[in-house]
């Protein structure tokens, strides 16, 4: 119900209007804690914070987040790979990837040991910005970590295939 309400609110807003974290999370189809996590990993993501810490995202913030999402989830980049792309190509390039106006090249950098998924889930739970309250929530966190590792492996396979070609 909350997701449907956020989607309706986004459709009724002007393209230049600021968005709340729930609206952006709904629009990008990611949980709110993922947006907060990305904010901690990508200094370029800087929503406006009002009283009580409520976040408001500008249209350019949403475009950047859409690009980050596309690179991580669709293109198989690691967080370090997206950070490198932001340094080398800039915000506009990543935002254009999110708009579908450009295609990102495969990330040829080798994942570092720090990219490995730790055995102890409590380490990653802190990085996700929340502590699971239920067994079901803990399982979801483990699945999110597993998905991130699978995307890293997909990226390594793509890089190996690119080197052979």
pLDDT values of the chain reduced to their tens digit, one per residue, 165 residues? 444 555 555 556 777 788 999 999 999 999 999 999 999 999 999 999 888 888 899 999 999 999 999 899 888 888 998 999 999 998 899 988 888 776 655 545 544 433 444 444 343 444 444 455 666 777 777 777 778 778 777 877 777 666 665
φ/ψ of residue 113, rounded to 5:
-60, -30
pTM (two decimals)? 0.58
Contact 62, 16 (CB under 8 A): no
Domain housing 91: 2-164
Residues 6+ away with beta carbon under 8 Å from 119: none
When divided into structural domains, the chain yields a total of 1
| Phi, psi of 101, deg, nearest 5 | -90, -10
Q: Could you tell me whether strands 48-49 and 55-57 are parallel, antiparallel, or unpaired per DSSP bridges?
A: antiparallel
Burial class of residue 77 in the structure, from the number of CB atoms within 10 Å of its CB (0-12 exposed, 13-18 middle, 19+ buried) = buried
Residue 62's nearest CA partner among 81, 77, 46, 74 is: 46
Q: Fill in the DSSP letter of residue 43.
A: T
- Tokens coding 29: 């189809």
CA distance 88 to 74: 20
Six token digits for residue 22: 């729930």
The encoded tokens of residue 134 equal: 């239920």
Alpha helix (H) ranges present in the chain? 2-11, 21-28, 32-41, 59-69, 79-89, 91-99, 121-128, 135-164
């Amino acid at each position: 119900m909350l997701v449907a309400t956020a989607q309706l609110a986004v459709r009724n807003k002007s393209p230049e209007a600021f968005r709340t974290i729930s609206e952006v999370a709904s629009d990008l189809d990611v949980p709110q804690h993922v947006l907060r996590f990305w904010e901690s990993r990508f200094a370029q993501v800087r929503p406006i914070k009002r009283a009580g810490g409520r976040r408001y995202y500008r249209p350019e913030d949403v475009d950047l987040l859409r690009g980050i999402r596309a690179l991580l989830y669709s293109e198989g980049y690691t967080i370090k790979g997206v950070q490198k792309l932001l340094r080398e190509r800039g915000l506009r390039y990543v935002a254009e990837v999110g708009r579908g106006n450009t295609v990102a090249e495969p990330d040829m950098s080798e994942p570092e040991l720090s990219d490995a998924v730790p055995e102890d889930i409590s380490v990653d739970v802190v990085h996700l910005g929340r502590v699971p309250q239920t067994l079901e929530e803990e399982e979801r966190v483990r699945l999110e970590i597993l998905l991130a590792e699978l995307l890293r492996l997909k990226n390594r396979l793509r890089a190996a295939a690119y080197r052979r070609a």
